Structure 1
């Protein structure tokens, strides 16, 4: 008999299972573990209640034979800052090992697609880590092509790297400007030499000596 699969919105009493799924996902993909600590059960309960009150986001879970084994975060976002269309984005999609290859991942994507159609969203996007080859092959079979690479870093790291990258260039630019200004000031103070090259000074000519000179 095929296993019974159900997809539903997360409830506060799913908090323990959601923390376990998050830890599995962080170990498998790596980048979340470096950026975000594992959530506490209390914070998960608070987040579940917050998403339940937000019409533009959903935290859904998948059950197989009554056991919670998958999760996904769905949210509606503008497809670009210059378009009116809204897309449903699927993030943090994860199916635990014992629940894979039973259709649970497809059921979560199907829920996202159904919600997108209900909300008149013409597009569906799914965020998947580049190292998750199996997940990316699965999404490609469903017609989802790669549209870009999403990179994460802490704000402090980015600001520190920006300072390291741009400070030398900025100092070099300021030094160059000071040198130009110093050369201009020196030329303004220095008189023209008595012996000069006409090609260097163009049409500049010294005045003729008066006829009465030396008399």
Structure 2
């Protein structure tokens, strides 16, 4: 068992480890890409940027685990320096052999050398074994993450939060119902007017005919 910084010759094996971790986690693209070329490029960049480190663990000359980490800070809003463990993964067949301890020992030494006051870890969702492992080593909850697809977020924002100067969808529906109600009232009123006028005219005609009709008491005989 040996833990060391990754070299260029480890790149293809690291890609295999990342794809295996992705398949096991079930979170898909939230963890990493499934494109080998893209993964190869990302791993190479992480290992070359300032503060980025890729550690590998080998057992019997086989890549058995990896740690992807970055030293961050100080920044504009904080003077703190921290080590972020972006990924910690051990192949299933090499677990429970102390490999995780050895890799985190190497990561902790990196943090100490960089002057990092804290070490942050982002275990894979649903990885209860890793959660328990980190808890035993003193890792405590520091916050929660939620995720939403960008397209879904934009749709919900358009529905739930009206843009400035634009009425909400609920208000728009209420206004439409009110306009239709008023339109029906106007139509009903216009239809009643001819009927009322016709009824008045009919009554006047009947009265005129009745007044001109000769009375039975006024008939004469020749």
Cα pair distance change 1:104/1:49, threshold 3 Å: same
Contact persistence 2:18–2:32 (CA under 8 A): no
Contact persistence 2:47–2:53 (CA under 8 A): yes
CA offsets per residue over residues 25-57 of structure 1, 9 Å max, x none? 1122222346743131x4444334323332211
CA offsets per residue over residues 44-82 of structure 1, 9 Å max, x none? 443343233322111111111211011111102248863
Contact persistence 1:18–1:71 (CA under 8 A): yes
Determine the structure 1 residue equivalent to 2:14: 18
Give the TM-score, by structure 1 length: 0.68
Residue 161, structure 1, aligned to residue 161, structure 2: no
Residue 47, structure 1, aligned to residue 42, structure 2: yes
Contact persistence 2:81–2:117 (CA under 8 A): yes
- Structure 2 counterparts to residues 45-194 of structure 1, below 5 A: 45-78=40-73, 82-167=77-162, 171-172=167-168
Q: CA RMSD in A?
A: 2.9
Note the C-alpha offset of 1:156.
3.3
Note the C-alpha offset of 1:166.
2.1
For 2:159 and 2:9, the matched residues in 1 are separated by 46
Determine the structure 2 residue equivalent to 1:209: none
Moved more, 43-52 or 87-96: 43-52
Give the TM-score, by structure 2 length: 0.66
Cα pair distance change 1:63/1:124, threshold 3 Å: same
Contact persistence 1:27–1:33 (CA under 8 A): no
Contact persistence 1:31–1:152 (CA under 8 A): no
Cα pair distance change 1:135/1:46, threshold 3 Å: same
- Which has the larger Rg? 2
Note the C-alpha offset of 1:154.
4.1
Moved more, 131-140 or 43-52: 43-52
For 2:102 and 2:118, the matched residues in 1 are separated by 18
Cα pair distance change 1:129/1:80, threshold 3 Å: farther
For 1:80 and 1:55, the matched residues in 2 are separated by 14
SS in structure 2 of the partner of residue 171 of structure 1: coil
